Amino acid sequence: MKFQKLAVVGLMLLLPAFLHAATDPAVTVAEDDNTFTLDNGIVAARVTKRSGDLVSLKYKNLEMLDAGSRQAAYWSHNAARGQQQTGITINPKTNGGERGEVSVKGMANGNQMGSGPGGSVIADIEIRYALGRGDSGVYTYSIFSHPTNYPATSVGEARFCMKLNDDLFDWMTVDSNRNMKMITTYDWNHGTQMNFKEGRRMNTGLYKGQVEHKYDYSANQFDVRAWGWSSSDQHVGVWLVNPSVEYLSGGPTKFELSSHRDATFNVNALDAPAPPTLLNYWRGSHYGGSICNVAATDAWTKVIGPFLIYCNTGNDHDAMWHDALAQADKEASAWPFDWVNGVDYPHRSDRATVSGKIVLDDPQAPNLKMKNLLVGLTAPDYAPATISRGPRGGVGGRRFGGGFGLAGGGDDEAAMTNQNNLAGSGTNQDFRNPAFTNRFARFGTNFNAGFTNGFGRFGTNGFRGGFGGVPRNVDWQTDAKNYEFWVRAGDDGNFNIPNIRPGIYSLHAIADGVLGDLTVTNIVIAAGKNLALENINWQPVRFGKQLWDIGIPNRSGSEFFKGDDYFHWGWYLEYPKLFPYDVKYVVGKSDFHKDWFFEQVPFNEDTNNTTGRGNGSATTWTVTFDLPAAPHGKATLRLAICGIGTRTLAADINDQSIGSVSNLIYNATINRDGIGGYWGEHDLVFPATLMKAGKNVLGLTVPAGGLMSGIIYDYLRLELDENAEPPR
């Protein structure tokens, strides 16, 4: 009897969902010579057979997309230039109307595919759209395939983009800090261009006097899984929802563009369209490049998605946003989707879960508790394939502007004015191999290795010319070629990483409060075989006794002054007003939350500067600290840096130089109002005898230059090893 009651209860719980599914209209797929149309009575999506673009998306009979755009919703690398293969990959006529899916595929046959904002690539490209019964949105995914009989290639800027109905959508939501009514097209078109082409000061509207640009709405892709626009009048919303981030680049610290009003660049066009825009970047370079180079010998394929274009309705904007967040949780629970077939996409039974516990072992900080512990499985570090570039705009995309010569970026949005020209900035400093116990790139600066052309021309698809022509290794921060699997672990160190594809991985852990990362290599994942790891001991790298530190190692500058309010244009103009005598930090007395600005930039001496153009003078920040006795041995200044706009950062102790960090690789984080870009540790080793008993002063100098050519620190620490031989 007891089991009969349980069965009845279970049936009653399932009955509402069953009845709902049964009463929802069936999915249909219609086609003509040029298009497919998927419809389930809630949404209707029309796809062009030529390219795989989404040309119409209707919800409650309202058109979600911008009908006037040349491409309303599209993948940056489409199927238009290849040998066409189109078809219905899931026919709702064969499954009772439960699901339909269509495919548009372009076969490259060894030739370049795509010529739009993502540049071109030599690979077969398939684009799919799927719709299920009762779904309030359509899924899309893209599959890149490169067989070994194709030449080497690279993927430039790569994303899915939607231009939305400007008559419908007026409110944009990225996160709790960017949840707002947006400027209008009129406001944008009548704005005044500032120091880069995507930035304009509003002369009309709700934000009159404020500078608007798309980078102020960039988001951490690991944390922001649902973002979109909604309508104040019609109470409908449209959202991009990532059920997983395994197919995105850069891991859990990656920031990228998310949504904005389209940045039309014709400043003289007062009636140009500037529709609301949504972006899902899987390979981007806006805060430090990601790399997707494919050798001729690579049999490479990657499935981007599926992710959901979600439509909803609600009483207000917050209600629609929270509904989208709830939908994101549902999508994550359903991942991997069992309806995806015919591509390299292992189902749940062919994936694995890896579990374990990270145990922190730091004798200098025995009571330190890890916070925001992130654990991931990624491809082992590797050297990117060398790609022979064609003419400008060929494989790898366009060349970046602004004097950086960033070959292979493919980003027509990237050129900025007043940037430092890194070409030819040879410094004869060492670029160490980043494969360390602590992994991320402690870049030595006191050793001679001969940069033949300094930065030369380096591209986001691999370096070109710089560092003696040797490309840097690709790590999890820059990898876009492979998949990554990350979770936020418990404060006790326990982690559980589900749905991992078979393969050989490196395990990484990073945590707030711990400098560096943990790396464990050669983690072998077999299909369908879960792996329970033993406790993993994490002993962070130390070079001696810690004398002092500033900040929190968390891979961003968020804990410093104004670091919680970074996403506004022009902080580099405000810096001289906030710190007219520069930062003068006193260890033991100062508070880095208030006394350390989140970015060190050249000092703007033009009090009438309202555009951000022009140069500033060198800026020196000081750190004053006391020592009980004159030290000896070797000292190490450890600088964790997450934002770079300058060539060099000079340092001195008591007015005596201890060297400079000169192997800095620009990542545009300051230019684009970011708080964290590509992260690296840069160590300066010097004789401890340069310090003395009593008062000591460390100076850190950013050279004169463009107002955005500075540094964002993550963390600073001074260590002393009195038993070590001092460097010569």
238-262, pLDDT tens digit by residue? 999 999 999 999 999 999 999 999 9
Q: What is the pLDDT of residue 114?
A: 80
Least confident of 75-84, 342-351, 355-364, 433-442: 433-442
* pTM confidence score: 0.88
**β-sheet with 371-378: strand ranges across:** 485-488, 371-378, 503-512, 518-525
Q: Is the pLDDT of residue 320 over 50?
A: yes
Distance CA 352, CA 341 (A): 18
Least confident of 54-58, 266-270, 632-636, 677-681: 266-270
Average pLDDT score, the chain: 87
Superfamily of domain 350-380+481-538: Carboxypeptidase-like, regulatory domain (2.60.40.1120)
Q: What is the pLDDT of residue 21?
A: 56
pLDDT digits (tens, 9 = 90+) for 461-479: 333 222 233 347 999 999 9
Please, which pLDDT band fits residue 398 given cuts at 50, 70 and 90?
very low
Top pLDDT among 83 and 441 is at 83
Top pLDDT among 269 and 582 is at 582
Tokens of 624: 């004053």
Q: Is the pLDDT of residue 1 over 50?
A: no
Tokens of 370: 């890890």
CA dihedral 423, 429, 435, 441 (to 10 degrees): -70
CB 278 within 8 A of CB 161: yes
Closest among 498, 503, 495, 502 to 485, alpha carbons compared: 498
Domain boundaries, the chain: 26-168+217-263+275-345, 350-380+481-538, 545-721
Q: What is the pLDDT of residue 389?
A: 56
Q: What is the pLDDT of residue 261?
A: 95
Closest among 387, 412, 417, 418 to 400, alpha carbons compared: 412
Find tokens 């990117």 and name the residue: 384
Q: Is the pLDDT of residue 411 over 90?
A: no
Query: HSE-up of 142 (CA within 13 Å, CB side)?
Result: 26
* Residue 288: DSSP 8-state: B
Please, which pLDDT band fits residue 264 given cuts at 50, 70 and 90?
low
First to last CA, the chain: 85
Class of domain 545-721: mainly beta
Q: What is the pLDDT of residue 266?
A: 62
Mean pLDDT of 262-266: 71
Top pLDDT among 425 and 53 is at 53
Residues 6+ apart with CB under 8 A from 87: 102, 103
Residue 484 CB-density burial (10 A; 0-12 exposed, 13-18 middle, 19+ buried)? buried
Residues 6+ apart with CB under 8 A from 388: 152
Q: What is the pLDDT of residue 7?
A: 42
Which SS3 state, helix, strand or coil, does residue 211 take? strand
pLDDT digits (tens, 9 = 90+) for 525-569: 999 999 999 999 999 999 999 999 999 999 999 999 999 999 999
Distance CA 125, CA 104 (A): 8
pLDDT digits (tens, 9 = 90+) for 96-150: 999 999 999 999 999 999 876 778 999 999 999 999 999 999 999 999 999 999 9
CB 95 within 8 A of CB 57: no
Residues 6+ apart with CB under 8 A from 634: 543, 544, 685, 686, 687, 688, 720, 721, 724, 725, 726, 727
What CATH number labels 26-168+217-263+275-345? 2.70.98.10
